Amino acid sequence: MATETENLETLVNRRYEHGFVTDIATDSLPPGLDEGVVRAISARKREPEWMLEWRLQAYRQWLEMAEPEWAHVHYPKIDYNSISYYAAPKSDADRPKSLDEVDPKLLETYDKLGIPLHERARLAGVAVDAVFDSVSVTTTFKAKLSEAGVIFCSFSEAVREHPELVRKYLGSVVPRRDNFFAALNSAVFSDGSFVYIPKGVRCPMELSTYFRINAANTGQFERTLIVADEGSHVSYLEGCTAPMRDENQLHAAVVELVALKDAEIKYSTVQNWYPGDEQGRGGIYNFVTKRGDCRGDNSKISWTQVETGSAITWKYPSCLLRGANSVGEFYSVAVTNNLQQADTGTKMIHIGPNTRSTIVSKGISAGRAQQAYRGLVRVMPQAHGARNHTQCDSLLIGKQCGAHTFPYMEIKNPTAKVEHEATTSKISANQLFYCRQRGISEEDAVNMIVNGFCREVFKELPMEFAVEAQALLNVSLEGAVG
């Protein structure tokens, strides 16, 4: 929380903290996309033939598809041929075996980002699979995880080491042709994380990946696949920052989660990509497909996200509730300030009997930002006893921002109980005055009220993440009031 000694002026003008560029030579492909590029990416990663074939099919499907236009966002047309589809740190050919071998400049970058791998990872009991540009460069806590039988590695490694698992689950939740951006990702994905939790195992630590975009003009196409086998449990944390850039950068990730019988996956995100400056220059285009499949009975998938970054966000972490009694949850805080645009929400597809879902969405819009909640609750005819509760609240700060709500409810079963509540309001003058009468500055009062507004979501985050998320929220709204 901002302290009173900090001058409001400096707070308002504080630039994006993580805006710097690390000077590392990158081994990049020239801009442009054709089959040759897809083959080149696959070759560089020394992928087996089946993986290349999968990518090529995705590429051909992508060519047939059109970029979606229904979202409540506006941006200049993206020229997919001006993007470079592969960049890797130079040391890729000779991957470091331990942290000591990692390029010191890279470690310095993580330090600036506030991710001291050595201490913090160990102290927090977190295994960090740090992604720099497109290729994983370091993984810790491997021993402890492998002892438990947990596989946590880069996607490339998984393709080589665990092809049977990857082939079985890749694209089984988000098919290649699911949507334009998913198809693009399927063709050119660079790297990402793979997690497999064996039957009955409770993952001994929180798994975490820090994403970061660096090389100029490089699209980032992460692919994450998490499989929780029967009766297992895993909590995965994803956090992101990006350096300041004047050109827009495209990010089209795909995250697939599979929860088998009695398994539980908790996926938490704090997203703080560069949102562009006060004039809306620069910033990340974040077009992500995240979907979880509660494939087995009594399984549970829970998405929690705190989103403060990106120039444009297009993102709907979803749950397919297939197994009987399976549970889907979505807890979200999205903050948009200045000229940010976000169209985000969730889909809960109730397929199995007695499936339950909870949606809590808190949107905060300030400056000239536009934010839309778009959600779908669908109860299929066979989903007897399905339950959904949705709470969707928007808070407006300032006269020029917009907050929009587009919830779709499609109910095809008479035993379903579906409830949706939504409110839109501004921070009340009475609340502000009440806090100020108790001696609390306006800035602090706003932070306090906003944090109170988001409390239901923050309490779903792992402790250390919750603290970060609150701090992030306060920084994101600096200068929004007054």
8 part of the interface to another protein, by CB under 8 A: no
Handedness of CA 127, 311, 367, 401 (dihedral sign): negative
Stretch that binds another protein, among 18-26, 100-108, 129-137, 403-411 (CB under 8 A): 403-411
Q: How far is the CB of 418 from another protein (least distance, A)?
A: 4
Q: At what angle do helices 35-44 and 180-188 cross, to 10 degrees?
A: 50
398 part of the interface to another protein, by CB under 8 A: yes
11 part of the interface to another protein, by CB under 8 A: no
Place of tokens 């009340």: 428
67 part of the interface to another protein, by CB under 8 A: no
349 part of the interface to another protein, by CB under 8 A: no
27 part of the interface to another protein, by CB under 8 A: no
Residue 294 and residue 329 in contact, taking contact as beta carbons nearer than 8 Å? no
351 part of the interface to another protein, by CB under 8 A: no
453 part of the interface to another protein, by CB under 8 A: yes
95 part of the interface to another protein, by CB under 8 A: no
Stretch that binds another protein, among 126-134, 200-208, 261-269, 435-443 (CB under 8 A): 435-443
463 part of the interface to another protein, by CB under 8 A: no
50 part of the interface to another protein, by CB under 8 A: no
Q: Is 168 exposed, middle or buried (0-12, 13-18, 19+ CB in 10 A)?
A: exposed
46 part of the interface to another protein, by CB under 8 A: no
Stretch that binds another protein, among 137-145, 207-215, 341-349, 414-422 (CB under 8 A): 414-422
Q: How far apart are CA 400 and CA 435, in angstroms?
A: 25
433 part of the interface to another protein, by CB under 8 A: yes
Q: Which is nearer to another protein, 241 or 394 (CB)?
A: 394
DSSP 83-145: SB--EEEGGGGG--SSGGGS-HHHHHHHHHTT--IIIIIHHHT-EEEEEETTEEEEE--HHHH
Q: Is 69 exposed, middle or buried (0-12, 13-18, 19+ CB in 10 A)?
A: exposed
Rg (CA), the chain: 22
Q: How far is the CB of 474 from another protein (least distance, A)?
A: 13
Which positions touch another protein (CB under 8 A)?
Answer: 4, 70, 381, 394, 396-426, 428-431, 433-442, 444, 448-449, 451-456
